[in-house]
Structures are given as structure tokens and as C-alpha cells.
Amino acid sequence: MESSPLWKRIAILLFCGWGILAAAPNLFYGRVEGHNDAIAAIDLAGGTATPELEAARAEWPDVLPSALMNLGLDLRGGAHLLAEVQVEDVYKSRMDALWPEVRDVLRDLRDQVGAVKSLPSPDGVLRVAITNPDGMPAALEAVKGLGSSVVSLTGIGESTLSVTAEGTEIVVQLSDAEKLATDERTLAQSLEIIRRRVDEAGTREPTIQRQGVDRILIQVPGIGSATELKGLIGKTAKLTFNHVISRTSDAGANPGPRNLLLPSLDEEGVYYIVEESPVVSGDDLVDAQPSFDQNGQPAVSFRFDTTGARAFGDHTFDHIGQQFAIVLDAEVISAPVIQSHIPGGSGIITGSFTVEDATQLAVLLRAGALPAEMTFLEERTIGPELGQDSIDAGKRAALIGMVVVALYMIASYGIFGLFANVALAVNIALLMAFLSTIGATLTLPGIAGIVLTMGMAVDANVLIFERMREELRAGASPRRAMEQGFDRAFSAIMDSNVTGLLVALIMFWLGSGAVRGFAVTLGLGILTSMFTAVYVTRLIVELWLDWKRPKTIVV
């Protein structure tokens, strides 16, 4: 077998060179991070840079690669939340919103169906009684008419509503296809809103991912605690304007069907009974800004879109002199009396706010309401000091491990051990280069994975060198022994690494969080170590043989 052709050698060297260059930013983590942040800040400012930003940018040359490995929460510190979205909430609000429509269509059929009454029913189901059973078919027909076709890939053609008759009662709920489609939308909307809220808080590289059917994983580095994060995203921020029926101080008062008893936010012991179906909701908002009322108190001004504005205008026109309640997350912020018709679709929310409250409320309203509540299944807070300790410990272990393994290899294989060490160093550089380029997240188990890779990566070289020893003992020439050593060991190297890769894949596929990070490091480490052990070591040994042309070699 001939020695490797020139193009192959150059390709290998170029690849190694790229690896070292691309890994380099990680050695100057702070500086490169400052550089990247400065570029982002300059971009955001539309290309104008302050002297400080320019200085931060100059810390790292623009021409060099600047991708970094992301540090995981366990290394940087931050908060991790796993939330489950209560998708059923949406079924309920859909049914609540449907009741006035159902009432109106049935009222138009009063001659046939008689009187119409809404009955108490489980969440997500609307139960309506009619007094004239003969009108049932017409009533069903009319209510069915309120549904539309499901908009989804699988449920096309099905109605959004499932309407059935039980005696003199009509039972309305979302059809199964519509429930599925609704769940999809709820999750997508929740993701988007959480993302907007976290982004408004301006933290670095948050991870916001959907997991499974109804879960969302939120990881925010640098935030103080999971509780703080929950404060930011956990609020549903559901804003509605409801018609007030009465005001009471009895916490146990029975509000009646389709009505709600809600506590007042700032008046202790005061409750309002309001209609459950809102006049307008936060969904109809187009803008919300912190502002001040006539008395100079902090307030939030808002503007409705056209539908919202029309509904709000009609309501205020019909109910002059009556109260309406501004409800945020099931608490009444304020309940002003309608003084006059408000046609313009804009208004102001007053309450006993501080400026911060008003600002936060405006942010939440602007980002939109979460369509459903969330429960938190898992929450983790890691302090930045613990993360720094882990980085230090990991670095120390990696460095010492590398030195000891290197010495051991030289002691065992002499100059060939040295060659293997060069390959090992290139391997670590390549691994870091890949992790940076794909933007993988380095976690503490990931660092353990790198240290472990160092121990296991020399395996391929050990296999090759042991094979070379055998060939030499059998009387092969140095060159022949090298070729045989590399070629014959290849089958074993391949088999053992493929199984390792298989395990890494399975870990990635089934694992979560830190286990996944570990799997990525381990898998990439196997790939890079195969490359360096086989190609890089071989190239070095070939170059050495060409240069020295030894008559005999000792491995």
C-alpha cells in the first residue's frame, strides 16, 4: 500500500487547522463573549457604536471564528422550569364565549323552543335547557350552525362543535378533532407568549422548547431563581372587561349560573359578581402602555382593535350608569361606572398601581395573555457561584487528566505515545470546535464526557500500536508494520466505536437535559477520536517514517 496521497494529507491538515482555530475562542471565553455581545448591541443600535462597545468588539479579531460553546445552566447558573399547559382551560373559555351566541340564536327561535336557560355543567361543556321539547331538532340545527370546519391537517371537514340532545337539554362541547387542533394552537401560542415575555426581560440565550403534547421547557441562564422566572412567565395575564351584576362583601355568595364571584384586588373583603362571558378581552388589545391618570396616579392606557372597539362601544352605549369590571387573572383591578358612550376603543386602567406595577402590567398585556394556565412540574435553580466552581473543577480535572494520560502514553509507547498525544490534543480541539460550531450546550456531565473521551480516545491508538508491535515481532519492516497495524486494527476500531455511537444516539433520543448534553459530547467525541486516531496519527507516523527512514523501530 502506498502512503497517503498529497491531497489527502493536505485535507487532513486543513481540517485539523480549522479545528484548532474554531476551538480557540473557548480559551478566551470572556473576551469573545464580550466581542459577540458588542456586535449584537451595535447591530441592535442600527450600526452606531459607543466607544465602550467598540473597545469590547476589538477584544477579539473580527476575522477569527467567534462561535462559543454554550454553557449549560449547571455551569452558568440560572433557572429551569418544566411547565404543563392546562389545555382544558381553553375548552372552558371557548364554551363560555359561546353561550351568548347560543342564547341569541335560540332566542330567535323562541316560538319553537320556548324559554332558554343555561344549566350548571362541568368545565368545557355547555348545557342549555329549552322548555319546548318539540323544538329540539330546530334548536340542534341552529346551535350546530354556530360551528365551523376544523382547521387542521387531520380533521378537515369535521365540525368544531359536538352538539347532542339529552331530553330537553342541549349539550355542546368542542369536537375531538377541534380539541386536538385547539391544543396545538394553545401550545404554539403559549410558547410564543413565553418567548416574548422572557425576551422583554432581556436575558441571554433562553431556551424555550415544546416537549411532548402539552409541556414547555424553559431554561433561562443568569436569572436569579426559578421563582423569579415563574413570576415573569407564570402570570396568565388574562385581561377581560365584564359586566358587573352586583357588589358584595360575602365571600360565599352564590353568583348564579354563568356568573362569577371575583375578589377585588385592592379592596379587602369586597367581591364582585360579574357575567362570566366577557364583553371584550385582552385578545382584542393592540397596545398597552404605562401612563398616568388625571390625578397623576400610575395607570395603564390601552387601545382595542376594531372588533374590540365596536363591542366595547356598543356595551358602553347600552349600559350607561352601570358598572363594568376590569378583571386580570380572576381579580377585579377596578370597577368604574360607565359615564358615557366610549366609541374610540381606547381607555385607561386605573388602580392602586406603583410605576413598576403599571410597567409590568403593560408588558404582560402587550405580550398577550397565556391562553391557559400552567402548572410547574419541575423547577431547578443553580446559582452562578456553584456553576463557576463546577467549571473550575472540570477544567482542573480535564487538564490533570490530559497530562497524566499523555505521560502514561509516552511511557508505554515512546515516540509513538507522543504521536498519539498530538492526535489526542487535536481530538480535543476538534471536539470543542464542533461543539462551538453547532452551538451545543456544555454541561457538567459534558465536561466529564470530554475527560472520559480522553481516556477512551487513546484506545484506537493503543489498538493500532499493539498491532504494530505484533507485526514487528513477526518480522515486518517498519513501513509494512505501520500499514498492517493501521489496516488490521481498523475493523476492531470501527466495531467498537459504532457500538459506542449507538449508545450515544440512544442516550440522545431517550434522554433529557443533562443526559442529552452528555450524549452529544460523547457521540461527537467518538467521531473525532476515530478521525484523529486513524488519520492524524497515521499522517504523523508516515511523515516521521519519510523523514527518519529508520531501519528498525520500537513501538
Partner 1 sequence: MAWRLRLVPVTTNIDFFRLQWVTFGSSLVAMAASLILVFTMGLNFGIDFRGGTMIRTESTSVVDVGAYREALSTLELGDVSISEVSDPTFRDDQHVAIVRLSARDGEEAVTPEVITEVEAALKAVDPSITFPAVESVGPKVSAELITSALWAVLAGTVGILFYVWVRFEWQFAVGTVAALIHDVLVVVGIFSLFQIKFDLSIVAALLTILGYSVNDTVVIFDRLRENLAKYKQMPLREMMNLTANETLSRTIMTASTTLISLIVLMIFGGDVIRGFVFAMLVGVILGTYSTLYMAKNIVLMIGIDRSDKLKSTEKNEFANVDA
Q: How far is the CB of 517 from partner 1 (least distance, A)?
A: 10
How far apart are the C-alpha atoms of 446 and 444, rounded to whole Å? 5
Q: How far is the CB of 91 from partner 1 (least distance, A)?
A: 21
How far apart are the C-alpha atoms of 117 and 56, rounded to whole Å? 69
Q: How far is the CB of 524 from partner 1 (least distance, A)?
A: 14
User: Beta strand 298-304 with 324-328: parallel, antiparallel or unpaired?
Assistant: unpaired
Read off the C-alpha cell for 49: 457604536
Q: How far is the CB of 477 from partner 1 (least distance, A)?
A: 14
Q: Which is nearer to partner 1, 135 or 523 (CB)?
A: 523
How far apart are the C-alpha atoms of 68 and 32, rounded to whole Å? 8
Q: Which is nearer to partner 1, 231 or 344 (CB)?
A: 231
3-class state of residue 278 by DSSP: coil
How far apart are the C-alpha atoms of 218 and 231, rounded to whole Å? 13
How far apart are the C-alpha atoms of 370 and 360, rounded to whole Å? 15
- Name the packing angle between helices 444-473 and 384-437 (round to 10°): 50
Distances (CA, A) of 239 to 59, 284, 552: 47, 10, 85
Q: How far is the CB of 526 from partner 1 (least distance, A)?
A: 9
Q: Which is nearer to partner 1, 139 or 519 (CB)?
A: 519
Q: Which is nearer to partner 1, 348 or 415 (CB)?
A: 415
How far apart are the C-alpha atoms of 482 and 553, rounded to whole Å? 10
Q: How far is the CB of 457 from partner 1 (least distance, A)?
A: 9
Q: Which is nearer to partner 1, 198 or 374 (CB)?
A: 374
Element (H, E) at 103: helix 88-108
Q: How far is the CB of 438 from partner 1 (least distance, A)?
A: 20
Q: How far is the CB of 499 from partner 1 (least distance, A)?
A: 5
Catalogue the E-assigned strands of 255-407: 259-263, 271-275, 280-281, 285-292, 298-304, 324-328, 331-334, 346-349, 374-382
Q: Which is nearer to partner 1, 100 or 224 (CB)?
A: 224
Q: How far is the CB of 523 from partner 1 (least distance, A)?
A: 10
How far apart are the C-alpha atoms of 144 and 148, rounded to whole Å? 9
Q: Which is nearer to partner 1, 38 or 402 (CB)?
A: 402
Q: Which is nearer to partner 1, 159 or 497 (CB)?
A: 497
User: Beta strand 285-292 with 298-304: parallel, antiparallel or unpaired?
Assistant: antiparallel
How far apart are the C-alpha atoms of 389 and 156, rounded to whole Å? 55
Element (H, E) at 188: helix 176-200
Q: Which is nearer to partner 1, 353 or 416 (CB)?
A: 416
Q: Which is nearer to partner 1, 261 or 451 (CB)?
A: 451
Q: Which is nearer to partner 1, 148 or 499 (CB)?
A: 499
Q: Which is nearer to partner 1, 284 or 483 (CB)?
A: 483
Q: How far is the CB of 196 from partner 1 (least distance, A)?
A: 23
Q: Which is nearer to partner 1, 103 or 380 (CB)?
A: 380
Q: What is the DSSP-derived secondary structure letter of residue 352? A: S
In a 13 Å sphere around the CA of 287, the CA atoms on its Cβ side amount to 9
Name every residue whose Cβ is closer than 8 Å to that of residue 412 and which is 6 or more positions away in sequence.
none
Q: What is the DSSP-derived secondary structure letter of residue 79? A: E
Read off the C-alpha cell for 275: 357575567
Q: How far is the CB of 208 from partner 1 (least distance, A)?
A: 18
Number of H helices, E strands in the chain: 16, 19
Q: How far is the CB of 513 from partner 1 (least distance, A)?
A: 8
Which of 367, 198, 62, 442 minimizes the C-alpha distance to 54? 62
How far apart are the C-alpha atoms of 179 and 43, rounded to whole Å? 43
Read off the C-alpha cell for 113: 323552543
Read off the C-alpha cell for 416: 509513538
How far apart are the C-alpha atoms of 433 and 68, rounded to whole Å? 9
Q: How far is the CB of 402 from partner 1 (least distance, A)?
A: 9
